[in-house]
Amino acid sequence: MGNEVLKAIRGRRSVVRFKPEPVPEEALQEILEAGRWAPSYANSQPWTFIVVRDEETKRKLGQLVERIALARRGRVAISGQGVGDAPVVIAVVVDPWRDPRHFVEAGAAAAQNMALAAHSLGLASYWAGIYEPGGGRRSVEAQVKRLLGVPRELHVIALLPLGYPAYQAQSDRAELAELVHYDRFGRPEVV
Ligand SMILES: Cc1cc2nc3c(=O)[nH]c(=O)nc-3n(C[C@H](O)[C@H](O)[C@H](O)COP(=O)(O)O)c2cc1C
């Protein structure tokens, strides 16, 4: 792989267990900067990042994410681990009033920028998915919002626990040949 950006994209893995060492403040600021520089529709920047370091709040967030993980167990490989134990959790909040059409995509771009920045600094994270459109007051997302004091009309699309990885995570992907079609859908072609 040719350069540092490509290496980071290929090398980033979701990590759910972290060492207890704190995240250096400088690294945290670099990660937040990476989120700030994400693209958004018409540069609407519909995001806010909440840096959660309070132990009790992290523990409660972890319990809430665990609830989603339990509900989905057996269907997909997800977990709520790590959120309670990570030195820092970043909540990615988006505001549909600032961008009614693309707030989710913009928040996702910011989250991925931060995940890549974390990886490039030797840290790790994973995307704990809690966004539940139309989820109602009892949804996990609504409870996370209440816990963090996020106004009702906003959404929390991701929690990113951050820390030094406690293990080396593995992952794989479908081959490009299975994903790429040329000129029209359904026309895979080797170039
Ligand atoms: C929208 C989204 C939601 C996700 N939600 C969870 C989650 O709730 N729990 C979890 O353990 N991983 C979650 N992940 C991480 C994926 O499981 C992970 O990205 C995937 O398995 C590929 O592994 P890799 O990131 O290490 O390449 C989520 C990822 C995305 C993009």
Per-residue pLDDT reduced to its tens digit, 149-183: 999 999 999 999 999 999 999 999 999 999 999 99
Is the CB of residue 17 below 6 angstroms from any atom belonging to ligand 1? no
Q: At a CB cut-off of 8 Å and minimum separation 6, what does 93 contact? A: 47, 48, 49, 50, 107, 148, 150, 154, 155, 156, 157
Among protein residues, the one with the nearest Cα to ligand 1's atom 12 is 78
Threshold 0.75, pTM exceeds: yes
Residue 86 CA to residue 55 CA, distance in Å, equals 9
Among protein residues, the one with the nearest Cα to ligand 1's atom 25 is 14
Per-residue pLDDT reduced to its tens digit, 63-91: 999 887 666 655 544 566 789 999 999 99
What type of residue sits at position 146?
Answer: R
In a 3-state reduction of DSSP, which class is residue 165?
strand
Which pLDDT does position 77 carry in this prediction? 47
H or E segment at 50? strand 47-52
Domains of the chain (ranges; CATH) run 4-179 (3.40.109.10)
Of 9, 78, 173, the one to substitute when testing ligand 1's pocket (max ligand atoms within 8 A of C-beta) is 78
